[in-house]
Structure 1
Amino acid sequence: MNFDQYELDDKFFDELFAEDGSPHPHNHHLHKHLTATSVEELESIQERVTRTFSSQSISFTLYGEDETQERIIPIDCIPRIIPSEEWDVLEAGLIQRIAALNKFIVDVYGPARILADGVIPIDHVRGCPQYRMEMQGVSIPLDVPVGICGTDLVRVGDGFRVLEDNLRVPSGVSYMIANRQATKTNFRELYRRYQVRDVEKYGTLLYETLREFDPNGSADPCIVLLTPGVFNAAFYEHMFLADEIGAELVEGRDLLVNDGFVYMRTTSGLRKVDVIYRRVDDDFLDPLFYRRDSILGVPGLMHAYRKGNVALVNAPGTGIADDKSIYAYVPDMIRYYLSEDPILQNVETYLCREPEDLEYTLDNLEQLVVKPVGGSGGYGLFIGADKTAAQRDAFSKQLREDPDNYIAQPILAISRAPCWIERNIEPRCVDLRPFILTGQESRLVGGAFCRIALPRGSLVVNSSQGGGAKDLWVVKN
């Protein structure tokens, strides 16, 4: 296989090649292996990798305007490689970031010092739809509201940037592990040569983290994974993770609250639950506290949680810190709570609720991507460069009518990695979602869910928008 048709573009950092067209030093073995592999062999590898996902029904649900589709996540067989020295910086920055975010959440539901000191405007927090009054004054186990975080990173020309922090019910870790199992099976010799860091111990680390939240501190707590059910987009992941940590996979109807404690219905009677790894959004957790029409949650669950009789991971109300308008203040949180400079930088962000930022956004809409502050999964993005003048004019009116609901960021030339596309190797834009586990300490595995923008020229990597995935190898220097 040769790279004669592989297009390098000065606007994009290429994960395989340096600017002079030679492979980055840490990609030497990968480049050599690919050039020694025929088109037919690579096509066969890709088919085997795809078949692995199909046979295990590793799927994701796409929600469209007209229909809902269950589909197998497209996986690319060519791994993306990052040297350990780069990963170690990312890991330190992610641990620093989650430490500040956890302190912020505990603070805003407690003394709110950061608001009193004017670091973040009060109305940005108290007016956020994800701010939960019910969490005011609640004692959070370990003072760690976010035990599981998935942070999205992109590489631009001068380094990595944080796109967003997923602090409510982050998903994708099962696909990270499945990518690894499928890819290393088909590149065994290359995998051994690189001495790749392990990701398959994630289940062990997740169990250790959840166990640390047990209010009773027992050696063998009862841990359950609360799922919305089979129709949820990430139900495959819920099944996978419950199996990984040896937890019961339960729906709301499988649990009940009695005398301030949570119990699980079993064939041998009721069993008290100590820790709930919840994959149900706040609004549906408890119909007595949140949406009264919810059939996904457990009546009385928040009462048991507020009494300290059960742990919820992640805690309700964590969405206040991954609201996109609050994201802009994370560097300030790090300086305020930790007295440190941020290791990882944010993307430049314009808060449309601020008059100057709104005018800048309206004047430069063609060069910006506009996002709803509470959005996720790539839904609701307005990429100015992809729109007509008429569409931009119509959206400008929408922005003026509801500026508080939007932020704007520059359109980033995010890095590209080689992918197997229609029997050829072509560059596609990629990101990373590492997962940070925090209990008594923070832990990461040496890898991430690496997403791909599959259509040529696309910058949108979200699985919910048709993106794919590939394995990430963190290799020794």
Structure 2
Amino acid sequence: MGMTNEAYITSPSSRFFNEMYDGSQVRGHYGKVHQTLTRMSVEERIMRQHQMNGRLLEEGITFTLSGGDKDSLERTIPFDLVPRIIPSREWSVIEQGTRQRVRAMNAFLADIYHEQCILKDGLVPRRMVMANRYFRTEMMRLPVPGGTYVTTAGIDLIRDEKGDYFVLEDNLRSPSGFSYVFKSRSIMQHDFPELYFSYAVRGIEQTLHDFRASLRNLALTDKSEPVIALLTPGSYNSAYFEHTFLAQQLGLELVEGRDLVCRDNKIYIRKLNGYKKVDVLYRRIDDDFLDPLTFRPDSLLGVAGLMNAYRFGNIAIANAPGTGVADDKAIYTFVPEMIRYYLNERPILNNVPTYLMSRPDEREHVLERLDEMVVKETSLSGGYGMLIGPASTEPERAMFAEKIRANPDNYIAQPTIQLSTAPISLEGKMVHRHIDLRVFALADGNQVHVLPGGLTRVAMEENSLVVNSSQGGGCKDTWVISD
């Protein structure tokens, strides 16, 4: 029986690091996964996968796809039944590296909005910070609760051909994906228990307590139970499922801008029986829309007067306004410097080598090799505004070269890193697809909690490197194995 199904696991390409195979050998920590899957018939795998997708649909775990086609807008995230497994030794490097990175970026934000030592010392070009579209002069010299600008972070990691981890980008404004981590886990426990319980997988439940605690500790009040609200743009937002999930799990009030009102520089929720004061606002909308009196006057998503309440110390906002300057793709190149500068430590996780188009020599180097590079617009995320050189056409490259020459500050370039691959079950057959890993961190003062595992995102198309859910990517449950 085992033999007949073995053939369905195609052998991975040796050009990429494969999570499950080392050449044709199965890696030790994947032994039970391989055994379980090869024992199952194609029909069983299809049925199991179908069951899992059905659960996603039932629970309304949907994501809105970009592109205007009305029929395909909302769908479930493709979920794959083959887990990704990370041995604890490997995980401890990721965890320490993520903690270090988040601490350094919090220190950087506290510095640029106060003393600006790193700019005075010439380590980061002043123009790059002051002219950044996410730099908020309104935040200058404003005390931030606990000095914590970044409470929640999503750090995206990839592996190269040798299996070394690199940070691809930092997401510090309002990183999404927490809910998929918890849902992926409950699906595996419920629908594939014989596999899940054959491993000593580190639990993720503690993260919900840590999440709530890090928000609670921002409150500038003596109340034993401060009121924490999650500000959502509303049900049309692509991540609305996540907003409702987190509000339920963390015991937060789920609010839209129109539910809130500012009085005497305090923020209240309008309730049927009166007003309830908000102490901490976990916002899932961008700075621009937070307060029409301070930022975009046409915003209908935020609360007029919110920034005044913030200045008076009557409310805490997570993540703090103005954190986007530290997750800009050009500033990203300086994070290793920040780690040395603020923490006096050697970076544990390396960046992907990155070229700044604002540097003439690096720009010319890239323009001569556009067919080998990934070019990104510094202020965009989610896989938008990108040129993937090896998959691009001559006219696309010419157009990007023109854009780079016109606005060099807006672009960075990176060599095309061949993301690692992992097996997925596609119509019952095992095929290999490229993956990355979003690691979630929660900062509480100087303490940083890292969720064990994180979100493994999968490029569902063969040979594609685009894993973002907004662009059709899928996900897997990620298991950190206890020793």
Q: Same fold (TM over 0.5)?
A: yes
Q: Distance in 2 between matches of 1:183 and 1:77?
A: 7
Structure 2 residue 430 is the aligned partner of structure 1 residue 388: no
Q: Distance in 2 between matches of 1:48 and 1:218?
A: 45
- Further displaced range: 428-437 or 441-450: 441-450
Aligned match for 1:27, one of 27, 30, 35: 30
Match of 1:81 in 2: 85
Is the 1:3–1:425 contact (alpha carbons within 8 Å) kept by the matching residues of 2? no
Structure 2 residue 128 is the aligned partner of structure 1 residue 120: no
Aligned match for 1:463, one of 464, 469, 476: 469
Partner secondary structure for residue 364 of structure 2: helix
Report the identity percentage. 46
- Further displaced range: 152-161 or 307-316: 152-161
Aligned match for 1:298, one of 278, 303, 321: 303
Structure 2 residue 433 is the aligned partner of structure 1 residue 428: yes
Match of 2:201 in 1: 196
1:206-238, CA deviations, whole angstroms, 9 ceiling, x for partnerless residues? 111111101114321100000000111100000
TM-superposed CA distance for 1:203, in Å, is: 2.1
TM-superposed CA distance for 1:251, in Å, is: 0.5
**Residues 150-299 of structure 1 correspond to what in structure 2 (within 5 A)?**
150-158=154-162, 159-299=164-304
Match of 1:57 in 2: 60
TM-superposed CA distance for 1:175, in Å, is: 0.7
1:217-276, CA deviations, whole angstroms, 9 ceiling, x for partnerless residues? 432110000000011110000000000111110001111111111111112211111000
Partner secondary structure for residue 437 of structure 1: strand
- Further displaced range: 461-470 or 215-224: 215-224
Is the 2:98–2:450 contact (alpha carbons within 8 Å) kept by the matching residues of 1? no
TM-score of the superposed pair, with normalisation by structure 1? 0.98
Change (3 A) 1:217 1:157: farther
Structure 2 residue 471 is the aligned partner of structure 1 residue 446: no
Amino acid at match of 1:473: W
TM-superposed CA distance for 1:2, in Å, is: 1.3
Is the 2:8–2:430 contact (alpha carbons within 8 Å) kept by the matching residues of 1? no
Q: Distance in 1 between matches of 2:395 and 2:150?
A: 42
TM-superposed CA distance for 1:104, in Å, is: 0.2
Deviating 4+ runs (over 4 angstroms): 65-68
C-alpha root-mean-square deviation of aligned residues, in Å? 1.2
1:356-407, CA deviations, whole angstroms, 9 ceiling, x for partnerless residues? 1110110010000000000100011101111122321222122211111110
Is the 2:458–2:473 contact (alpha carbons within 8 Å) kept by the matching residues of 1? yes
- Further displaced range: 162-171 or 441-450: 441-450
Structure 2 residue 376 is the aligned partner of structure 1 residue 354: no
TM-superposed CA distance for 1:331, in Å, is: 0.1
TM-superposed CA distance for 1:3, in Å, is: 4.4
Q: Distance in 1 between matches of 2:301 and 2:468?
A: 26
Amino acid at match of 1:35: T
Match of 1:48 in 2: 51
Partner secondary structure for residue 194 of structure 1: coil
Change (3 A) 1:258 1:76: same
Q: Distance in 1 between matches of 2:402 and 2:294?
A: 36
**Residues 139-150 of structure 1 correspond to what in structure 2 (within 5 A)?**
139-150=143-154
Partner secondary structure for residue 324 of structure 1: coil
Q: How many residues align?
A: 476
Is the 2:63–2:75 contact (alpha carbons within 8 Å) kept by the matching residues of 1? yes
- Further displaced range: 390-399 or 366-375: 390-399
Q: Distance in 2 between matches of 1:389 and 1:185?
A: 49
- Further displaced range: 387-396 or 324-333: 387-396
Partner secondary structure for residue 397 of structure 1: helix
Is the 2:156–2:167 contact (alpha carbons within 8 Å) kept by the matching residues of 1? yes
**Residues 379-418 of structure 1 correspond to what in structure 2 (within 5 A)?**
379-418=384-423
Change (3 A) 1:43 1:66: closer
Q: Distance in 2 between matches of 1:386 and 1:129?
A: 30
Q: Distance in 2 between matches of 1:37 and 1:110?
A: 60
Q: Distance in 2 between matches of 1:128 and 1:93?
A: 26
- Further displaced range: 455-464 or 34-43: 34-43
Amino acid at match of 2:457: R
Amino acid at match of 1:64: G
Change (3 A) 1:182 1:393: same
Q: Distance in 1 between matches of 2:260 and 2:8?
A: 59
Partner secondary structure for residue 328 of structure 1: helix
Match of 2:101 in 1: 97
Aligned match for 2:76, one of 69, 72, 77: 72
TM-superposed CA distance for 1:445, in Å, is: 2.2
1:38-64, CA deviations, whole angstroms, 9 ceiling, x for partnerless residues? 212111110111111011110111221
Q: Distance in 1 between matches of 2:262 and 2:394?
A: 56
Structure 2 residue 373 is the aligned partner of structure 1 residue 368: yes
Q: Distance in 2 between matches of 1:11 and 1:199?
A: 33
Amino acid at match of 1:124: M
Partner secondary structure for residue 310 of structure 2: helix
Q: Distance in 2 between matches of 1:416 and 1:217?
A: 50
Amino acid at match of 1:377: G
Q: Distance in 2 between matches of 1:466 and 1:282?
A: 26
Q: Distance in 1 between matches of 2:148 and 2:455?
A: 24
Amino acid at match of 1:115: L
Match of 2:42 in 1: 39
1:99-127, CA deviations, whole angstroms, 9 ceiling, x for partnerless residues? 00000001000000000000100001011
Is the 1:198–1:447 contact (alpha carbons within 8 Å) kept by the matching residues of 2? no
TM-superposed CA distance for 1:190, in Å, is: 2.1
Partner secondary structure for residue 381 of structure 2: coil
Amino acid at match of 2:51: R
Unpaired runs of 5+ in structure 1?
Answer: none
TM-superposed CA distance for 1:423, in Å, is: 2.1
Partner secondary structure for residue 221 of structure 1: coil
- Further displaced range: 396-405 or 345-354: 396-405
TM-superposed CA distance for 1:180, in Å, is: 0.8
Q: Distance in 2 between matches of 1:267 and 1:390?
A: 59
Change (3 A) 1:299 1:44: same
**Residues 334-345 of structure 1 correspond to what in structure 2 (within 5 A)?**
334-345=339-350
